[in-house]
């Protein structure tokens, strides 16, 4: 990839630090993630040893201030790392995304100093990982329709309800849970509470048997009269909805980068395969039909990459990144789906075989169009922004 990117006012020259982060992520993906990625997909298991290594290398707290044990990196570095990890194993990268974009970001941006010292420090170092609990059986990314309740009991909240589709749900030690405290106030009555694994009444439900990102840990969570101390509330009473919306905006950049990585990985495998596979006396890369597919894949991936960097730069420069993050997520997730489908097609019968990886990438790509808000939700967000 060229180290200078230009697009309608976007001028990004990757620094030595950026390139070092990119190389470190690429090396880890190739040496640590690639071996066993097919087996992890089949067994639906991601080993704790690899999670520990990701923490030691700083991938789980990349953007957290060094004050709290993080890497202090910018969002561009995060996008670069997410792309490289996702080229090989989207199950690994989604753990990195949730811990960075949702949990660590939310705590650092809005938590108290006490909350940061107690929870952010171990999260940033990878000693524990976090989960963001918003979705419910009847409310996916709709933060206004929370049935999980947090009744104010004076010095604590009594938490009851169920959360679904929670990434890191089984292995996390710290959970940010969105719940309704004052139903009569609607979205202004919602709070975010920090819940620790092991609190009485907190149960982890069954692990989901998923189409893709099968190595990642996805569970439902059940809360029955869980006593959550008042000091575990993030922000003022009723701040939960704004908290969720803010963290989801950053989360979209992470998922856009994940989608970009899945597309990039599938494209690189297809490019290599097209030069090796022969049909009708010559490599299939010499056939115009294949060339057209590769050209379109490469163009769409580059456009998705620029959208990801545009959103990252908006965030790093403290500009409003609601629209740019939604655009990046909308486009990159479509590119991931389209590219992986074409990758399977280029591979032909081999594309249907697990050892060639692209069938897994196609399955992994689909979730990028669903979590952090479906494609339809991204269009609503974008339309709302451009119609202001």
Catalytic residue numbers read: 372
Lookup: tokens for 43: 């067994």
Q: Where are the beta strands (DSSP E) in the chain?
A: 4-7, 10-13, 130-133, 149-152, 156-167, 174-180, 190-196, 202-207, 218-229, 278-279, 282-283
| Neighbouring C-alpha atoms within 13 Å toward the C-beta of 21 | 22
Measured CA distances, 220 to 178, 193, 205, 247, 363 (Å)? 14, 17, 5, 20, 21
Tokens 């009473």 belong to 237
- Residues 170 and 217: beta-carbon distance below 8 Å: yes
Q: What is the rounded distance in angstroms from the CA atom of residue 128 to the CA atom of residue 194?
A: 14
CA 179-183-184 angle, to 5 degrees, is: 155
Tokens 């730069």 belong to 313
Backbone φ and ψ for 131, nearest 5 degrees, come out as -135, 150
Q: What share of the chain is helix, strand, coil (3-state, %, to 5)?
A: 55, 15, 25
């Amino acid at each position: 990839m060229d180290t200078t990117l230009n697009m309608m006012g976007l001028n990004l020259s990757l620094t030595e630090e950026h390139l070092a982060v990119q190389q470190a992520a690429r090396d880890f993906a190739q040496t640590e993630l690639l071996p066993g990625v097919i087996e992890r997909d089949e067994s639906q298991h991601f080993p704790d040893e690899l999670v520990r290594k990701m923490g030691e290398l700083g991938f789980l707290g990349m953007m957290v201030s060094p004050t709290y044990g993080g890497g202090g990196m910018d969002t561009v570095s995060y996008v670069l790392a997410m792309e490289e990890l996702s080229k090989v194993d989207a199950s690994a990268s989604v753990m990195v995304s949730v811990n960075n974009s949702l949990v660590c970001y939310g705590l650092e941006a809005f938590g108290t100093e006490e909350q940061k010292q107690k929870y952010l420090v171990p999260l940033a170092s990878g000693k524990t990982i976090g989960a963001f609990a918003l979705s419910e059986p009847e409310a996916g990314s709709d933060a206004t329709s929370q049935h999980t309740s947090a009744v104010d009991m004076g010095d604590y909240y009594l938490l009851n309800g169920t959360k679904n589709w929670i990434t890191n749900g089984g292995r996390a030690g710290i959970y940010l849970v969105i719940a309704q405290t004052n139903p009569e106030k609607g979205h202004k009555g919602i709070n975010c509470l920090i819940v620790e694994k092991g609190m009485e009444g907190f149960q982890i439900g069954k692990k989901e048997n998923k189409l893709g990102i099968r190595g990642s840990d996805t569970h439902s969570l059940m809360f029955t009269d869980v006593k959550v101390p008042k000091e575990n509330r993030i922000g003022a009473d009723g701040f939960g909805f704004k908290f969720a919306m803010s963290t989801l905006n950053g989360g979209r950049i992470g998922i856009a980068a994940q989608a970009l990585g899945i597309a990039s990985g599938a494209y690189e495998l297809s490019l290599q395969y097209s030069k090796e596979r022969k049909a009708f006396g010559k490599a299939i890369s010499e056939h115009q039909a294949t060339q057209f597919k590769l050209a379109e894949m490469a163009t769409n991936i580059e456009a998705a990459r620029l959208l990801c960097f545009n959103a990252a730069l908006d965030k790093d420069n403290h500009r409003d990144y609601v629209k740019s993050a939604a655009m990046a997520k909308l486009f990159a997730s479509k590119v991931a789906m389209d590219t992986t489908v074409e990758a399977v097609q280029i591979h032909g019968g081999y594309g249907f075989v697990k050892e060639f990886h692209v069938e897994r990438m196609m399955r992994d790509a689909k979730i990028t169009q669903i979590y952090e808000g479906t494609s339809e939700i991204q269009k609503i967000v974008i339309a709302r922004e451009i119609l202001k």
